[in-house]
Amino acid sequence: MKMNEGVEWAMHSCVNLSWLPGEAVTAKRLAAFYNLPTAYLNKQLQALARAGIVSSISGPKGGFQLARDPRKISLLDIVVAIDGADDAFRCTEILKAGPGANPKADYVKTCQISRAMRAAELTYRRELAAQTIADIAEQVLAEHPDAPDNTRSHFANLTV
Amino acid sequence: MKMNEGVEWAMHSCVNLSWLPGEAVTAKRLAAFYNLPTAYLNKQLQALARAGIVSSISGPKGGFQLARDPRKISLLDIVVAIDGADDAFRCTEILKAGPGANPKADYVKTCQISRAMRAAELTYRRELAAQTIADIAEQVLAEHPDAPDNTRSHFANLTV
DNA sequence: GAAAGCCTACTCGGATACTTCTTGTCCGAGTTCATCAGG
DNA sequence: CCTGATGAACTCGGACAAGAAGTATCCGAGTAGGCTTTC
């Protein structure tokens, strides 16, 4: 069980974008910031755009920017946008193949194992839903007060 | 992000084994119970054996049985045994490639995004660690009081 | 000199290969039990 | 009749393919701005 690597990239990129409000940043520049493969990061940003987390602009002077307030973008939003909304544990209702099975029963909901696994994933998602990009940015700011300015100047000095 | 399908099979099989204490059940019979592919279920049971969750006996009259009290087997134990102990979210420390990075810093622990993701997974694992095979069996028993007897008789009547 | 049209350069977007992991299968090592030969 | 060795059948165990998903890349559709041409 492993999550898409793009989730990490997307989260860091969103934090960076939160420090460049109203500015369209190209995928090339976002990738150069962390030495990431441009085309692949672009793919992740497209997924964020489809989910309505960032807005994209084509052409020269184009790029990506946050589509809404960072306080309204949770880590779960990003995970769902890139990694999909499906649960990691997939109940295939094997009880249906067992003895004494009720063909009309919804074992996804009634099977105790399925319930326990889904409950655990629910707490996981709740944790992620409670953390926003703004929260992360605030925590970074508390530890490194000059991080936003450094980020902005680094983007300004990028040659690509 | 998807979890190994074998996790579901292993959990159901462990519950069944908890109702057949002291009896060695072959992978073939456990697979027949839910119409699962025998060889593949065998592979999962091997993983459980390596993790010390079940004990295996070779040869005729051989098979698998729980290696310890079902109250001491958590759902997390099974997930770890089959799906591995690694976190789903892998922090690759992309901050190291960014500007102003400290080469000696351990960003897995200090990066706020990494911390948030790991904290969420921790709650997930805690939930799973709190649920045991005995708990599941008890919940099933409460809803279907005759489940253990039905399971035992079905295993007894299996032709394979 | 000003305005309109064209052209170039640059961006995102989706379609396309490649690698890794999950899924599924097979045959060998080891063990138990039944059988058979010998005392 | 009893004891021991032998062989066959059955089990787990790890090594071996097939398929799906994640990873990485490329080229086309569309746009903004600058340049040229014309009035």
CATH number at residue B16: 1.10.10.10
Q: Does position B93 have pLDDT exceeding 90, yes or no?
A: yes
Task: Give, as ranges, the nucleotides of chain D with any atom within 7 Å of a protein CB.
Answer: 9-15, 21-27, 29-33
Q: How far apart are CA B112 and CA B107, in angstroms?
A: 9
Secondary-structure percent of chain B, ordered helix, strand, coil, rounded to 5: 60, 5, 35
What's the CA–C1' distance between A59 and C13, in Å?
12
Domain that holds residue A55: 5-85+133-157
Which amino acid does the sequence have at B80? Answer: V
pTM of the model: 0.91
- DSSP 8-class letter at B101: -
pLDDT in tens, B118-149: 999 999 999 999 999 999 999 999 999 999 99
Residue at B128 is within a domain:
no
B142 beta carbon < 7 A from strand D? no
Helix or strand (DSSP H, E) at B66: strand B63-66
Residue at B64 is within a domain:
yes
Residue at A40 is within a domain:
yes
Q: Does position B160 have pLDDT exceeding 80, yes or no?
A: no
Q: How far apart are CA A82 and CA B1, in angstroms?
A: 10
pLDDT at position B53 is 96
Contact B94 A154 (CB under 8 A): no
Structure tokens at A107: 């074992």
Q: How far apart are CA A100 and CA B144, in angstroms?
A: 11
Output the average pLDDT for chain B.
Answer: 94
Listed by range, residues with Cβ under 7 angstroms from strand C are A 1-2, 26-28, 39, 42-43, 45-46, 49-50, 56-60, 62-64; B 2, 4-6, 37, 39-40, 42-43, 58-62, 83-84
Residue at B91 is within a domain:
no
Task: Give, as ranges, the nucleotides of chain C with any atom within 7 Å of a protein CB.
Answer: 9-15, 21-27, 29-33
Q: How far apart are CA A151 and CA A153, in angstroms?
A: 6
Domain count, chain A: 1
Residue at A76 is within a domain:
yes
Residue at B106 is within a domain:
no
Q: How far apart are CA B2 and CA B22, in angstroms?
A: 34
pLDDT at position A91 is 94
Residue at A52 is within a domain:
yes
Residue at B118 is within a domain:
no
Q: What is the pLDDT along chain A (160 residues), one digit of tens a residue?
A: 889 999 999 999 999 999 999 899 999 999 999 999 999 999 999 999 999 999 999 888 889 999 999 999 999 999 999 999 999 999 999 999 988 888 888 999 999 999 999 999 999 999 999 999 999 999 999 999 999 999 999 999 888 7
pLDDT at position B102 is 87
